[in-house]
Structure 1
Amino acid sequence: MAETSFKQARDAFEKFLGGAQAAAGSIEERGESMRAGAKDISTKALSFAETNVQASLDYAQSLIHAKDLSEIMRLHGEYVQAQMKALAEQASEMGQTVSRAAMEATRPKH
């Protein structure tokens, strides 16, 4: 039953991701005036979301196969540490991307 629920969650995520990517592509096609910085920000945000959801799904799957409470606690600790590190790195990278986009947007056009 847990495996079935996990598969359904993974399938739902993959459908969501496909829809989000299609919507992002649609926005890019319609919005010729979209700035490269905004496109880069949205691409990074989508990539980060995909990475974080995938990590959560992997964590959930590892919990399904845990043998005892001590293994669950170990897996949880590893997951929390990895996610905190990933989120800090993502925040730093997004901050740099937003700064670059802001500088590009305020740069005079020739």
Structure 2
Amino acid sequence: MDERDRFEIPKDMRSMAEASFEQARNAFEKFLSGAQTAADSLSARAATIGAGAKDVNAMAFSYAEKNVQAALDYAQALVHAKDLSEAMRLQREYVQAQMRALTEQASEMSQIVGRTAMEAAKPKN
């Protein structure tokens, strides 16, 4: 392997990065827990929120969680890359996976929003 293509992260920096990722992951999990509690509380108190709005809220929350988790996993894998070609492969795989996920998420979200709009437009008897 050509020395120009090889890069190594010193052990101390790698350990510090791994600790930082773990702290970020823990902070994110605490944030999600608090946000979910707040969202549940708001949903419980807001009797006027329709089922569609609850679905959109739950789905957006789920998407945010999945996307941040994917970014954290990618960053952690990148820290362990052994060389530039592996880092580039990880980047390509991450971008491709995120594009697929975002396309799917947008499709699902538009279906729920469309269904909710159709329900709201129905005449009330």
Normalization by structure 2: what TM-score? 0.85
2:56 aligned to which of 21, 41, 44: 41
Cα deviations by residue, 1:19-40 (Å, 9 ceiling, x for unpaired): 1101110111101111001000
Greater Rg over alpha carbons, structure:
2
3-state SS in 1 of match to 2:48: coil
Aligned amino acid, residue 32 of structure 1? A
- State the number of aligned residues: 110
* Offset of residue 108 of structure 1: 1.5
| 2:51 maps to 1:29 | no
> Which residue pairs with 1:16 in the alignment?
31
Higher helix share: 1
* Offset of residue 14 of structure 1: 0.4
What does 1:78-89 align with in structure 2 at a 5 Å threshold?
A: 78-89=93-104
Unaligned runs of 5+ in 2: 1-15
| 2:73 maps to 1:58 | yes
Cα distance in structure 2, aligned partners of 1:59 and 1:6: 11
Cα deviations by residue, 1:40-91 (Å, 9 ceiling, x for unpaired): 0001000110110111011011111111111000000000000011101100
3-state SS in 1 of match to 2:123: coil
Unaligned runs of 5+ in 1: none
Aligned amino acid, residue 76 of structure 2? Q
Runs of 4+ displaced beyond 6 Å: none
- Tell me the percent identity: 67
Aligned amino acid, residue 75 of structure 2? A
Normalization by structure 1: what TM-score? 0.96
